[in-house]
């Protein structure tokens, strides 16, 4: 039986790294997004409704309800959670002893708390994916602290019958994410995906391109089309292999997913999302593969084209069987766990193992059942035929963000050119100066930046706003108001260094926004990365007190009628948070996140160099393969145990 101890350890470290990046990235943006002078102040989202404490917490599960007890307002409480989350995730990444159930429970609870007040700036699919993965991590994580000594670790590793069950849910989550992402591209009826031309637009029109995007955009059209075919194969045809009984097929599926994610990382700034997906893919690995560093991949044939009706019939035919495939794989995991339980010796150990197996087995089955509801969204008839009990269970816990529907790049936007909103300010209403953002396209001569794993959430929402009228993005009116008021926290979201903001000495009297069509420059156009063409006015010219601005603020409920209380500013904790903010504010967010990564690498190198050296006897013991308790027990059976190595038992590693 291939072990999953190493994949699980990689999973714990990967989840901790993603939480660290997510919390640190969010921390740098809290004042401008959620502070009292931010675009969408967080305090507006937490207004007591006269309910009891526990009903209120169940309806809106966030620790920020308790911030007044600490003398903090909601935004300061959010800063505190982000800082503590960053430090706790950093600790779990570096220290084996912190990869514990309670640590991942705190990380999940902290991010769920932020999600509840994050509003539109935190409603991205990767935020939902991180919450779902984080909850699985606390189920996979051990309930007891790992033993200090390696000999004790060797005796205890892999003896708990239930430990592989929650880790199987990671593989199921990866399947749902990838399979749905491929299917929705076709169910959307997007002509670019059906015509295999999506990648001739994607690199240019994605939210935040990288410099490599320019070069990828100018690759031959035939290569773009071939890449689209490969994408469909990796996202639709390969995911069922995650449950294949043949180990080499699972490893081939793993490397195909890794290839896709690495190419996306190179050609696009998708914050921590691709790293999170890579963490999920380790559920396809096992100890033997990680130790031997062996594996293979395969190339598929190009499928023949078919109509949307034929695809709909195919999807209706396969959606329910994929659910049964997942159920069959889960059933095998349950049977394997039950067989392991029969090998446990001692009545007390057997009783404790039975209790744990019952609890974690029930939780695994419940989460699998819940996940079927959002998974079936992609095929309405299957969704309607789903067991009503699954719908009721999902509705009961939906607000806890335990399961989500996924579907990335559903439709290709910007087929006629990339829409881009450009803000402008003026003192007299006649001479206008463009307000350039740090990350999103603006100046045609500036190269696309590399910002991952940071997510500039305002820049991302500006991309979505450009796809429709400004009334579809109510927060944009609040952004215009804050720029007219000259609020520094919001200005720092646009330019971290005040000297680069054209109105840093005095706020503009007027602000407006124009919509442009941006396209990558052609090879040979030196000094330019973009070409652009004016399309229309996006937001009218307004000033403070303008009836148009006041009407829009009132229409969207953005008028601030509840100013923050001054009591929170005097607490010691609030002063400490302001001091920390002052120390870190000069750093740009990508530099801060890469600094954290550099710190982790440096500490790991020091640990490797200064760690205790193994004695000759210890080295000899290390190289001598020690039989696991499962294999010892199996060897004493009169008949051989089931051959799990060739079954669907794959080293499960949570993302």
For 218-263, the pLDDT digits (tens) are 999 999 999 999 999 999 999 999 998 888 899 999 999 999 999 9
Give CA–CA dist 96/146, Å, rounded. 8
141: Cα separation from own chain's centroid: 19
d(Cα 563, Cα 550) in Å, to the nearest integer?
18
d(CA 397, CA 363): 13
Owner of token pair 């049964």: 324
pLDDT range class, residue 295, cuts 50, 70, 90 = very low
115-160: per-residue pLDDT in tens? 999 999 999 999 999 999 999 999 999 877 655 554 444 444 445 7
- pLDDT value at 622 more than 60: no
What 43-48 contacts at long range (C-beta under 8 Å, 24+ apart), as own/partner pairs, is 43/73, 43/74, 43/75, 43/562, 43/564, 44/562, 45/74, 45/116, 45/117, 45/119, 46/74, 46/117
Output the average pLDDT for the chain: 85
Residue 524, pLDDT score: 85
Lowest mean pLDDT among 52-61, 141-150, 303-312: 141-150
Q: What is the DSSP letter of 544?
A: T
CB 373 within 8 A of CB 391: yes
Of all residues in the chain, the percent with pLDDT exceeding 70 is 86
The pLDDT of 174-183, averaged and rounded, is 94
212 pLDDT more than 90: yes
Residue 77 has pLDDT above 50, yes or no: yes
Q: How many of the other CB atoms lie within 10 Å of CB of 523?
A: 9
Q: What share of the chain is helix, strand, coil (3-state, %, to 5)?
A: 60, 5, 35
């Amino acid at each position: 039986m291939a072990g999953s101890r190493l994949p699980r350890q990689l999973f714990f470290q990967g989840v901790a790294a993603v939480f660290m990046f997510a919390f640190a990235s969010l921390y740098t943006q809290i004042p401008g997004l959620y502070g009292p002078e931010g675009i969408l102040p967080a305090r507006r989202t937490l207004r007591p409704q006269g309910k009891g404490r526990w009903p209120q917490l169940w309806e809106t599960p966030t620790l920020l309800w308790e911030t007044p007890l600490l003398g903090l307002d909601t935004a300061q409480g959010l800063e505190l959670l982000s800082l503590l989350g960053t430090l706790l995730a950093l600790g779990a990444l570096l220290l084996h002893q912190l990869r514990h159930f309670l640590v991942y429970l705190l990380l999940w609870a902290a991010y769920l708390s932020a999600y509840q007040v994050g509003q539109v700036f935190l409603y991205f699919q990767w935020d939902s994916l991180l919450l779902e993965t984080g909850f699985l991590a606390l189920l996979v994580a051990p309930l007891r602290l790992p033993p200090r000594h390696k000999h004790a670790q060797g005796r205890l590793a892999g003896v708990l019958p239930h430990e592989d069950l929650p880790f199987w849910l990671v593989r199921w989550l990866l399947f749902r994410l990838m399979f749905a992402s491929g299917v929705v591209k076709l169910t959307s009826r997007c002509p670019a995906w059906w015509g295999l031309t999506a990648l001739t637009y994607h690199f240019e029109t994605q939210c935040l391109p990288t410099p490599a995007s320019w070069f990828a955009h100018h690759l031959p059209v035939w290569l773009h089309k071939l890449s689209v075919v490969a994408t469909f194969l990796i996202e639709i045809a390969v995911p069922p292999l995650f449950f294949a009984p043949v180990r080499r097929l699972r490893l081939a599926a793993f490397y195909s997913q890794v290839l896709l994610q690495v190419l996306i990382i190179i050609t696009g700034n998708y914050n921590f999302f691709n790293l999170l997906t890579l963490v999920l893919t380790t559920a396809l690995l096992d100890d033997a593969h990680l130790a031997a560093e062996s594996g293979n991949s395969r190339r598929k044939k190009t499928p023949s084209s078919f109509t949307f009706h034929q695809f709909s019939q195919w999807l209706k035919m396969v959606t329910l069987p994929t659910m049964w495939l997942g159920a069959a794989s889960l059933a095998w995991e349950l049977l394997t766990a039950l067989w392991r339980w029969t090998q446990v010796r001692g009545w007390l150990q057997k009783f404790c193992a039975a209790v744990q197996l019952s609890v974690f087995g029930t939780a695994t089955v419940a989460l699998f059942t819940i996940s079927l509801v959002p998974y079936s969204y992609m095929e309405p008839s299957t969704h309607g035929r789903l067991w009503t009990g699954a719908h009721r269970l999902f509705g009961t816990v939906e607000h806890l963000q335990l399961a989500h529907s996924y579907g990335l790049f559903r439709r290709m936007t910007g087929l006629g050119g990339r829409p881009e909103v450009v803000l402008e300010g003026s003192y007299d209403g006649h001479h206008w100066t463009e307000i350039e953002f740090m990350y999103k396209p603006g100046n045609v001569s500036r190269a696309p930046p590399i910002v991952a794993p940071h997510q500039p959430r305002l820049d991302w929402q500006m991309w979505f706003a450009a796809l429709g009228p400004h009334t579809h993005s109510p927060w944009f009116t609040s952004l215009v108001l804050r720029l007219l008021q000259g609020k520094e926290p919001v200005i720092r979201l646009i330019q971290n260094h005040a000297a680069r903001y054209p109105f840093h000495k005095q706020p503009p009297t007027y602000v407006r926004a124009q919509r442009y069509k941006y396209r990558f420059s052609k090879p040979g156009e030196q000094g330019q990365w973009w070409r652009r063409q004016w399309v229309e006015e996006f937001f009218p010219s307004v000033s403070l007190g303008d009836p148009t601005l006041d009407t829009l603020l009132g229409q969207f409920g953005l008028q601030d009628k509840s100013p923050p209380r001054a009591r929170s500013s005097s607490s010691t904790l609030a002063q400490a948070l302001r001091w920390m903010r002052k120390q870190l504010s000069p750093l740009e967010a990508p530099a801060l996140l890469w600094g954290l990564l550099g710190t982790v690498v440096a500490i790991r190198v020091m640990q490797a160099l200064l760690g205790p050296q193994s004695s000759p006897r210890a080295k000899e013991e290390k190289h001598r393969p020690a039989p696991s308790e499962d294999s010892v027990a199996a060897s004493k059976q009169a008949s051989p145990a089931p051959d799990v190595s060739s079954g669907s038992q794959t080293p499960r590693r949570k993302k």
